[in-house]
Amino acid sequence: MEIFITGGAGFIGCNLADYHLGRGDRVVVFDNLSREGTEANLAWLRERYGDRLVFIRGDIRDFEALHAALPPDTARIYHMAGQVAVTTSVANPREDFECNALGTFNVLEAARAVAPQAIIFYASTNKVYGGMEDIAIIEEATRYRYHDFPLGIPESQPLDFHSPYGCSKGCGDQYTRDYARIYGLKTVVFRQSCIYGTRQFGVEDQGWVAHFCIAARLGRPITIYGDGKQVRDVLWIDDLISAYEAAAAHIDIAAGQIYNIGGGPENTISIWAGFGPLLEKLAGHPISVSYATWRPGDQLVYISDIRKAERELGWRPRVSVEEGIERLWQWIDQNARLFG
């Protein structure tokens, strides 16, 4: 099977590449290597698979390059490339638009022209729902929780593209969905919550679980924006890959659909009030942090309602928060040299 992955040297992309190469599939990775850690991830894939991995250095903003790189017999396109940080989008909204909105449009147009039979997966984000300021929140001792959504936010939640990042990712989200309706492409949108796992080079603006683990392991400073009681659902990388696989196996149902994909209500953690003690246990010592003011648009709670994916795709997360974070900590501990 022929697999094409934009952003295939990034965290999610390289794990997808590893999964497919391990199954014996042919994988083409299309990446501009602009993200921290991508060169290390590419070297890891090459060490494991040699010439079986096809790497093309290119940028999704370049339609001609995409068009030329995409094999006509591609079975699946995973569109994982893009600009990933809200803060960056605010500082440079044009670059954010070109990477996420124009880049996604280019991927869809290349697929329509070259490989219209391919299943196209788009990695969207819960940020398309905005700050959700109208949703009632209850404050507890160590976390916030929804008053009216005990099972999380469903796909029917109104879109509210707050921040340039929300706008650009939301644009790609809606284009991807509409290319199934208008052109009959087999597109699937995953509105992903916090994904974490090995090969993730998290930084303060993106990949917070890995960032906290890396900083704690290496003795680097950690800043908590707000009070640390914000809650997120988190999903281990292998569970995300199994969700993509489930959607491909049920593409007759999944084509043209949108799914909220995350850890769901059973896999939540407060950003520091809950995560801090767990991290201190793994580190074996107290971890000092500093606090700063809230960041604009930060959701007090985001939890995905994952029942649609369970109902239609037969998918559920398997790795618990505690197990996943321990796995990530061990990987960072064993690969500390990768982090400078």
What's the pLDDT tens digit per position in 30-58? 999 999 899 999 999 999 999 999 999 99
Q: How confident is the model at residue 163 (pLDDT cuts 50, 70, 90)?
A: confident
Instruction: Quote the pLDDT of residue 131.
Output: 86
Instruction: Quote the pLDDT of residue 187.
Output: 98
Say which of 19, 122, 146, 165 is annotated catalytic. 165
What's the pLDDT tens digit per position in 66-82? 999 999 999 999 999 99
Instruction: Quote the pLDDT of residue 241.
Output: 98
Q: How confident is the model at residue 296 (pLDDT cuts 50, 70, 90)?
A: confident
What CATH number did the domain enclosing 164 receive? 3.40.50.720
Q: How confident is the model at residue 162 (pLDDT cuts 50, 70, 90)?
A: confident
Percent of the chain whose predicted confidence (pLDDT) is above 70 = 100
Q: What average pLDDT does this structure show over 181-190?
A: 98
Assess whether pLDDT exceeds 90 at residue 230.
yes
The total number of structural domains in the chain stands at 1
Instruction: Quote the pLDDT of residue 242.
Output: 98
**Per-residue H/E/C for the chain:** CEEEEECCCCHHHHHHHHHHHHHCCEEEEEECCCCCCHHHHHHHHHHHHHHHEEEEECCCCCHHHHHHHCCCCCCEEEECCCCCCHHHHHHCHHHHHHHHHHHHHHHHHHHHHHCCCCEEEEEEEHHHHCCCCCCCEEECCCCEEECCCCCCECCCCCCCCCHHHHHHHHHHHHHHHHHHHHHCCEEEEEEECEEECCCCCCECCECHHHHHHHHHHHCCCCEEECCCCCEEEEEEHHHHHHHHHHHHHCHHHHCCEEEEECCCCCCEEECCCCHHHHHHHHHCCCCCCEEECCCCCCCCEECECCHHHHHHHCCCCCCCHHHHHHHHHHHHHHCHHHHC
Instruction: Quote the pLDDT of residue 340.
Output: 76
Is 165 a catalytic site residue? yes
Q: What average pLDDT does this structure show over 94-106?
A: 97
Instruction: Quote the pLDDT of residue 75.
Output: 98
Instruction: Quote the pLDDT of residue 86.
Output: 84
* Averaged pLDDT score across all residues of the chain: 96
Which structural domain range is residue 170 located in?
Answer: 2-339
Q: What average pLDDT does this structure show over 122-147?
A: 94
